[in-house]
């Protein structure tokens, strides 16, 4: 059995010398190296920005979407949308474990969710079994490779697999909210009615306490109503986050010109960077969880209007994020019910 690099560089075909995520093409031969795990894949959860782009490019035609996903994987050896650069995650069953894989607790037959992006995961799709244009979970017959450095979670027994997958796909967002939001803060969550947004709202409401304030900006009136019904925000604004001045006016009507201490951006479309920046107070912070974010626009845009604020890149991993997110589903019957309706 061949010896592999901890970070998966042995799988990079081109360009040589880089890591699997920025690579253009990976070796998706499903014969494992000594430090890898082979996974029998059941479901892919394509990330929201990528899936939205695929839907739009295929005009919501499920067959065209299947063909597009298969063509991406055939070309790249991984599910990395060439437009958004992003991937998603997967659930499946452990099929084989290399002798030098470091986690000795993992066993063949364990059902796991990978907590690293599909944009760096060697993947081979044999068949797309089920794809519905409105849902970003795609059932497949496929195999994938987890590197030595790859993080994962063994699926819990008390939650349905697809429910856990839906939550774990965005687990980094509520975990970062828990780190960043303090008691008494005024927080705005842009895209608060989607999957990551709902979890972020719950955690933000928990953190700000009785004297803080949570504001949601949501494009969809239906999704906005969810937030109102579940009492997950103090104020809900229905607006298009790409319309900078409209959102700025509505948010500052609540906060005053000072704006928000923390802004969490969860949208799945481009061009919401300046909206986030404009509603953030000086020396406040923005967490860009959205993979549709242009960090060039964000950095130069903040500079251009003289805003001294902290811009945080959306890292999907935070220590303890899986447990925190799954516990939200256990603590909140309303959120669990919503996720079961949408994803199970």
Span 252-275, mean pLDDT? 95
Q: Are residues 126 and 209 in the same domain?
A: no
Q: Are residues 282 and 177 in the same domain?
A: yes
Residue carrying structure tokens 């319309």: 243
Last residue of a domain, one of 155, 186, 204: 155
Give the closest residue to 83 by CA, choosing from 55, 53, 61, 58.
53
d(CA 42, CA 1): 26
Query: Is 322 inside any structural domain?
Result: yes
Query: Is 205 inside any structural domain?
Result: yes
d(CA 294, CA 336): 32
Q: What angle do CA 164, 200, 79 make, to 5 degrees?
A: 50
φ/ψ (deg, to 5) at 311: -105, 120
DSSP 13: E
Split at pLDDT 50, 70, 90, the class of 314 is: confident
Q: What angle do CA 153, 171, 259 make, to 5 degrees?
A: 165
Q: Are residues 199 and 313 in the same domain?
A: yes
Query: Is 83 inside any structural domain?
Result: yes
Q: Are residues 201 and 325 in the same domain?
A: yes
Split at pLDDT 50, 70, 90, the class of 317 is: confident
Query: Is 160 inside any structural domain?
Result: no
CB 240 within 8 A of CB 218: no
Q: Are residues 136 and 280 in the same domain?
A: no
φ/ψ (deg, to 5) at 211: -105, 0
Q: Are residues 150 and 181 in the same domain?
A: no
Split at pLDDT 50, 70, 90, the class of 343 is: confident
φ/ψ (deg, to 5) at 281: -70, 160
Query: Is 344 inside any structural domain?
Result: no
Torsion from C-alpha of 105, 106, 109, 111, nearest 10 degrees: 110
Query: Is 131 inside any structural domain?
Result: yes
Point out which residues pair with 262 in neighbouring strands. Answer: 187, 285
Dump pLDDT digits (tens) for 39-85: 999 999 999 889 999 999 999 999 999 999 999 999 999 999 999 99
Q: Are residues 289 and 203 in the same domain?
A: yes
Q: Are residues 70 and 101 in the same domain?
A: yes
Find the domain containing 199 and state its range.
Answer: 172-338
> How do the residues of the chain divide into helix, strand and coil, expressed in percent and rounded to 5?
35, 25, 40
Predicted confidence at residue 344, as pLDDT, reads 78
d(CA 222, CA 207): 26
The answer to pTM > 0.85 is yes
Q: Are residues 89 and 193 in the same domain?
A: no
Domain of 304, CATH number, reads 3.40.50.720
Number of structural domains in the chain: 2
Last residue of a domain, one of 121, 155, 189: 155
Span 24-40, mean pLDDT? 97
Q: Are residues 61 and 204 in the same domain?
A: no
Query: Is 164 inside any structural domain?
Result: no
Q: Are residues 109 and 193 in the same domain?
A: no
Q: Are residues 135 and 201 in the same domain?
A: no
Query: Is 114 inside any structural domain?
Result: yes
Last residue of a domain, one of 155, 183, 205: 155
DSSP for 66-131 reads HHHHHHHHHHHSS---TTT---EEEEEEEEEE-TT-S-TT--TT-EEEE-S-GGGS-EEEEEEEE-
């Amino acid at each position: 059995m061949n010896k592999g690099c901890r970070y998966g560089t042995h799988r990079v075909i081109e360009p040589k010398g880089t890591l699997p995520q920025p690579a253009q093409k990976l070796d998706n031969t499903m014969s494992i190296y000594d430090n890898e795990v082979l996974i029998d894949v059941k479901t892919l959860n394509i990330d929201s920005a990528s899936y939205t782009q695929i839907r739009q490019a295929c005009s919501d035609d499920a067959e065209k979407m299947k063909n597009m996903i298969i063509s991406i994987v055939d070309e790249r050896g991984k599910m990395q949308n060439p437009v958004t650069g992003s991937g998603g995650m997967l659930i499946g069953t452990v099929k084989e474990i290399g002798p030098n894989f470091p986690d000795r607790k993992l066993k063949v037959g364990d059902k796991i969710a990978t907590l690293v992006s599909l944009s760096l995961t060697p993947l081979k799709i044999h068949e797309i079994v089920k794809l519905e244009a409105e849902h970003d979970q795609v059932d497949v017959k496929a195999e994938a490779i987890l590197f030595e450095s790859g993080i994962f979670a063994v699926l819990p027994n008390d939650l349905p697999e697809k429910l856990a997958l839906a939550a774990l796909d965005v687990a980094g967002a509520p975990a970062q909210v828990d780190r960043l939001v303090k008691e008494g803060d005024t927080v705005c969550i842009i895209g608060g009615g989607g999957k990551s947004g709902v979890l972020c709202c719950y955690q933000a409401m928990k953190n700000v306490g009785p004297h803080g304030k949570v504001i949601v900006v949501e494009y969809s009136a239906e999704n906005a109503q969810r937030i109102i019904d579940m009492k997950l925000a103090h104020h809900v604004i229905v607006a298009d986050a790409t319309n900078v001045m409209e959102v700025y006016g509505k948010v500052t009507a609540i906060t005053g010109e000072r704006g928000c201490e923390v802004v969490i951006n969860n949208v799945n479309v481009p061009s919401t960077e300046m909206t986030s920046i404009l509603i953030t107070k000086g020396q406040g912070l923005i967490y860009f969880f959205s993979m549709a974010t242009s960090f060039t626009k964000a950095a130069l845009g903040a500079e251009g209007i003289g805003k001294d604020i902290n811009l945080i890149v959306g890292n999907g991993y935070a220590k303890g994020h899986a447990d925190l997110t799954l516990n939200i589903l256990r603590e909140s019957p309303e959120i669990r019910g919503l996720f079961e309706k949408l994803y199970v």
